[in-house]
Amino acid sequence: MMGSEDDQESKVKMETLFLREESNSNSNYRSAMSTLSDSRHPSIVVTPADSDPLFAPPSYYNESRSKPNGGNRDSSSYLEPPSYADVIFSPFDDNSEINGSDDGGSSLHSQSSDSLSRSPSSLTSDYIKITVSSPQKEQESTNSMIPGGTTYVTYQITTRTNLSEYGGGSEFSVRRRFRDVVTLADRLAESYRGFCIPPRPDKSVVESQVMQKQEFVEQRRVALEKYLRRLASHPVIRNSDELKVFLQAQGKLPLATSVDVASRMLDGAVKLPKQLFGEASSSVEVVQPARGGRDFLRLFKELRQSVSNDWGGPKPAVVEEDKEFLEKKEKMYDLEQQIINASQQAESLVKAQQDMGETMGELGLAFIKLTKFENEEAVFNSQRARANDMKNLATSAVKASRFYRELNSQTVKHLDTLHDYLGLMMAVQGAFADRSSALLTVQTLLSEISSLEGRAEKLEAASSKVFGGDKSRIKKIEELKETIKVTEDSKNVAIREYEQIKENNWCEVERLDRERRADFLNMMKGFVVSQVGYAEKIANVWTKVAEETSQYNRESS
Amino acid sequence: MESTEQPRSISGSMQSPRSPSLQPYLSVSVTDPVKLGNGVQAYISYRVITKTNLPEYQGPEKIVIRRYSDFVWLRDRLFEKYKGIFIPPLPEKSAVEKFRFSAEFIEMRRAALDIFVNRIALHPELQHSEDLRTFLQADEETMDRFRFQETGIFKKPADLMQMFRDVQSKVSDAVLGKEKPVEETTAAYEKLKHYIFELENHLAEAQKHAYRLVKRHRELGQSLLDFGKAVKLLGACEGEPTGKAFSDLGTKSELLSIKLQKEAQQVLMNFEEPLKDYVRYVQSIKATIAERGTAFKQHCELAETTKLKEINLDKLMLTRSDKVGEAEIEYREIKAESEEATRRFERIVTRMEEEIVRFQEQKTEEMGVAFHQFAKGQARLACSIADAWKSLLPKLEASSAV
């Protein structure tokens, strides 16, 4: 599946991964492995703009070459976790230079180490980096005479990209409010039915009342950034008109805020993004789900149809017989449950590590106090000796405590992948739901047609009994036949839509499976590597104390 | 009745009894805890094995059965008879009902009792105690009899607590400058008292954190176990190679959980327990300080009374009263008592001076051992954690290459 060049790339990447244990290079893997080779999904190689691999500090390359697998413990450990100076701990540090790498949380690596992960051969690269910042309160402008309208918060959304769709290398900013994000999400959901679209942040009305304003705004800012980055990392959605418009268009967001299905359905010509059909066709009719819009009549019909389906009415002409689909759906559901469970246990693990570090630190401090006390009050040398022993223990305990806490921040980062995938599983559900509702539309139209045809038959039979023709009936029959024709057209469009969505589903699920596999493997690797690194550091700290107190060794061995 | 000082020192359990048979030795071990009795009256009995070549003992080896309250009896007797000596502390009497018969608790108590008896057997004065001989040799019936006789006469824990409070209030009064007349006020002794009281606070805090650390080990172990299970289930949903990777990860996590539980127990026994013992020792010293206070008070009061009697006697002699004879007898009695009280007090002082030195040295040694074992245990744990996770890396790497 991968060419030899890719093999080379990924080999280098894997070696350097062990150096960069602190950063999440899942996007490397995705880019290396996402051979979404059809024309719709150009292979995207990700590199931060400013780091040119050729300028990477040579030391890292040398290290990577000389590092054997399973290095011994006496020499510098198999892996060098960053020293304190390098690591700036912040749980949601946005130093990430990587495009949409947030499936694994933010990275804590320094600039230079970034460059290692890229294959030296990938000098041309596409990237898009989105930052959400500077929340500001703004006043809702009202025409009313009553002073003091409602306020809302806007966020500055800065994009840096060199994608051609955005006009080559550039940086631009817009201001958006949360409502705009909801609009974006809704429009994407319509246009990209069948795709696994990352879920948008919640409206969380309750939280906004309960939390401190500042805290809430910050929480939302972080969530928005994560969301937009995820959108940008989706190979198809990143090129969507909706996203482009959202990121670029100054002033008011020029996206429709509601779905007017009725007007669109039969006479509407909605411009579909090219990606959906892979052609440069301009106006194509589309059948949107009834549920999203105001077409109550159709809503009612589809509801009737779905009930009929459920209660074993006459078998619809098109039935979800795709066993593979049903199996996949169930598998996805199981997977989601296990991810939820694993994510919960990951949280407990993090807490336990945190507590361990804290208590170890407190123990160290207690002994430091004891040391100080004994030294101050010392009358005998035995006291001074004991104070010295305590000091050694205390120092190591404090060091170990710090290591536990550092390890924990790494663990949080890595295991965050599990949390992220919860969101993505929701996206999968959405994609599957799109398929089901499209099928329902088809079924409804089919039964509509068949009932119309039934009526036409009856009328024809009745009219044929009238000698010389029944003018009123004939007219009715003609009208019916016209309706049937239109409905047939709609049906054909709906079927095409359904088929398209099925295909989207399939592609997306494939992509997701692949990415998930890579992401999870990365997660495990990152987790394991940091555990190893810090365990070794902690072991060294205690070995030192054991040596310093070796005179007290009373073991018979 | 106090035993006379014996010059020869007896080697204890720490040294091998196989040394030349002329070398006196006394070695004791407390073993084989067995649960006896039913329901509320259930208790643990221990086998106490004594090996010795001392003539005062009946034969080279003796085995008796003892229970916790027998140890308490011994401690109380020694406390009464050997004032000034820091009597080795006993593990706490009551434990939470649930744990009273758990294997770990029983083992910890057995170990603590073993240390208790051995400390006595090694102490240059205490090892000659008659009560010790009784404890080590008397048959169970005799022991029971002794034990029942003595309860009620000797101070109960409540009384001891009151003594501590008295001592503490006296110390704080002295610190505040409200010096009562009947208090020792030498700078060195003040310093010692202050040191002991402060030390207890510091040690208690350290011990508290040590105990919490044990809990943290257990919690981390549990969370690793749960995490391992969850991850394995997740792996079962995924195809290869992720599925196998998750399964391996989960297995390792479960393995490490076991190691953590083991280490938790080690930390409890080899680190937290010695710290607790240290605290108990300091509390025993406080009891000795209280005794010294009482002895000092008696010495002062009797000296005072003696002087008064002397003055009175002189007065009577001058007036040639016929009460002189009586007064003389009284005076001589009081004087003898006073001298006895002074001797007792001074013996306490002397003993305490030696005891302090021994205490500090002993504690440095015992703490050193505890620290060493703790550090080794933590290092071993961390190493095995590192090794376990490391062993996964080649497989993970191979999986990613696919």
Buried b / exposed e over B278-303, threshold 16 CB at 10 Å, is bbbbbbbbbbbbbbbbbbbbbbbebb
Identify which has the larger pLDDT, A3 or A138: A138
Q: For residue B360, which residues of chain A lie inside 8 Å, CB to CB?
A: 379-380, 382-383, 386
ipTM of the complex: 0.84
Given a cut of 70, whether residue A366 has pLDDT beyond it is: yes
Record: contact B400-A338, CB cut-off 8 A: no
- The pTM score is 0.74
CA B179 vs. chain centroid, Å, equals 32
If you average pLDDT over residues A473-497, what whole number do you get? Answer: 87
- Between chains, do B401 and A10 touch, taking CB under 8 Å as contact? yes
Task: Kindly report the average pLDDT of chain A as a whole number.
Answer: 72
CB burial string A226-253: b at 16+ within 10 A, e below:
bbbbbbbbbbbbbbbbbbbebbbeeeeb
User: CB distance B375–A356 less than 8 Å?
Assistant: no
Say whether B227 and A349 touch across the interface (CB within 8 A): yes
Q: Measured between CB atoms, does A528 come within 8 Å of chain B? A: yes
A532 with B245: Cβ contact below 8 A: no
A423 — pLDDT class (breaks 50, 70, 90): confident
Contact between chains at B363 and A382 (C-beta distance less than 8 A) = yes
Which residues share a beta bridge with B49?
B29, B63
Nearest to A528 among B233, B374, B392 (CB): B392
The mean-pLDDT minimum among A117-121, A300-304, A428-432 falls in A117-121
Q: Tell me, what's the pLDDT at B18?
A: 54
Q: What is the percentage of chain A residues whose pLDDT exceeds 90?
A: 22
Residues B340-352 as b/e (b if ≥16 CB within 10 A, e otherwise) read ebbebbebbbebb
Q: What is the mean pLDDT of residues B354-369?
A: 94
Asked which of A69-73, A147-151, B11-15, B107-111 is least confident by mean pLDDT, the reply is A69-73
**Chain B within 8 Å of A382 (Cβ-Cβ)?**
yes
Q: Quote the pLDDT of residue A468.
A: 67
What does each C-alpha distance from A3 to A32, A35, A432, B396 come to in angstroms?
Answer: 10, 10, 33, 21
Q: What is the DSSP letter of B111?
A: H
What is the mean predicted confidence (pLDDT) over A489-507?
Answer: 89
Residue A467 pLDDT:
73
Model confidence band, residue A316 (pLDDT cutoffs 50, 70, 90): low
Residue A556 binned pLDDT confidence (cut-offs 50, 70, 90): low
- Are A34 and A511 in contact by the 8 Å Cβ rule? The answer is yes
CA–CA dist A224, A204 (Å, integer): 13
Q: How many helices (H) and strands (E) does chain B have?
A: 10, 3
Chain A residue with minimum CA distance to B387: A532
- Whether residue B281 has pLDDT greater than 50: yes
Confidence at residue A42, expressed as pLDDT on a 0 to 100 scale: 38
Phi and psi torsions of A20, nearest 5°? -95, 45
User: Distance, in angstroms, between B390 CA and closest chain A CA?
Assistant: 6
Ranges A417-431, A516-530, B269-283, B343-357: which has the least confidence: A417-431
Element at B66 (helix H, strand E): strand B61-67
Do residue B223 and residue A351 have CB atoms under 8 angstroms apart? yes
**Burial of residue B363 (number of CB atoms within 10 Å: 0-12, 13-18, 19+):** buried
Nearest-CA distance from A545 to chain B in Å?
Answer: 6
| pLDDT score of B220 more than 70 | yes
Å between B236 CA and nearest CA of chain A: 9
Residue A353 contacts B where some CB pair is shorter than 8 Å: yes
Distance (Å) from the C-alpha of residue B341 to the closest C-alpha of chain A? 29
Instruction: Indicate the residue type of A314.
Output: P
* Tokens read off for B154: 């000797």
Average pLDDT over residues A465-484: 80
Q: Do A542 and B379 touch (CB under 8 A)?
A: yes
Among B222, B231, B368, select the one facing A342 at the smallest CB separation. B231
Phi, psi of B44 (to 5 degrees): -105, 135
| Contacts A527 to B, Cβ<8 Å | 249
A475: Cβ–Cβ under 8 A, 6 or more apart, which residues? none
Mark yes or no for CB contact B382/A345 under 8 Å: no
Strands laid side by side in the B26-36 sheet: B26-36, B43-52, B61-67
pLDDT tens per residue, range A18-73: 334 333 333 333 333 333 333 333 333 333 344 333 333 333 333 333 333 333 33
Mutate to test the interface with A, among B396, B399, B402 (most CBs of A within 10 A): B396
pLDDT of residue B95: 64
Q: Judge: A525–B246 Cβ closer than 8 Å, yes or no.
A: no
CB pair distance less than 8 Å for A517 and B241: yes
Highest-confidence range of A278-292, A466-480, B60-74, B309-323, by mean pLDDT? B60-74
- How many CB atoms are closer than 10 A to CB B208? 16
Mind listing the pLDDT tens digit for each residue in B139-190?
Answer: 888 888 888 876 655 555 555 665 565 566 556 555 655 445 577 888 889 9
Instruction: Write the residue in A353, A392, A528 that is nearest to B389 by C-beta.
Output: A528
Partner residue facing B209 (CB), from A349, A363, A379: A363
Give strand pairing partners of A161: A128, A170
Is the omega angle on the peptide bond into residue B7 within 30 degrees of 0, that is, cis? Answer: no
Q: For chain B, give the mean pLDDT.
A: 86
- Report CA B178 to chain centroid distance, whole Å: 33
Give the pLDDT mean for A135-163.
77
Q: Which residues of A touch B367 (CB under 8 A)?
A: 386, 389-390
Look up tokens 């996402």; give the residue: A34
Top-confidence residue, B4 or B356:
B356
- Report the residue from A335, A389, A531 with minimal CB separation from B385: A531
- For residue B264, is pLDDT > 80? yes
